[in-house]
Amino acid sequence: MPLNFAILQTDLVWEKPHRNIAHFSELIKRLDDNISLVLLPETFSTGFTMNVGNIEDQAEIALSWMIETAAEYRITLGGSLIIKEESCYYNRFYWVKPDNTFVYYDKRHLFRMGREQDHFCPGNNRVVVEDHGIRFLLQICYDIRFPVFSRNRNDYDVIVYVANFPSARKHVWTTLLQARAIENQSYVLAVNRTGVDGEGVDNCGVSCAIDMKGEYKARLDYKPGVLMSSIDIEEIRQFRNKFPAHLDSDNFSLL
């Protein structure tokens, strides 16, 4: 049975978690009842800020909201938050299921051109989560430039990218999303924000769903919007069986 999903592409209010959460709550409330997976952008509650001391308390609020919302609407909810753990801040992608359980992935590749490595600690683990019989690899924004890290070892079916990707590199975003789908013979679900952030960076949107042949199944442009589509796991399996390029892949060290 296909998995129906929604990607929420919006502008974000800079460092205002309550306003962002309220906005996403309204969008989720309007979704079709058959939606099982909802994806939010990178750092969806605050924007991609390096002012981590200003928003220390937002993660607990936002994660609680994710858990409550997933349970209320019987959906899986995914998106990243800025969270402090001991002496480190992490850009953490939470994957929250409707039964109040969650897994998370800490962003491995920190965007040095945005000084992310000066404020955050990198993650050490590659995370695949199974949901509705589909295996999802969790990735965040700048990870898209590092194909060895996302190489499919026949251990996932879909790559999920949550991002704050700038308009200045829109061509990079669209090209690499298609490349990751083709080389890994997997679906790619990508959610990016729109609008200008608190650092004056304009973000390009182009949230999309791409199939294992690199073809767009659904795509948004720059403007805020909701993308709804579905994934058929049998379609992915049949394609891989017919064209088993993964059997000839090279072995790489992930970390």
CB-CB contact of 15 with 198 (8 Å): yes
Give the residue numbers annotated as catalytic, written as ranges: 42, 107, 141
Q: How far apart are CA 95 and CA 91, in angstroms?
A: 13
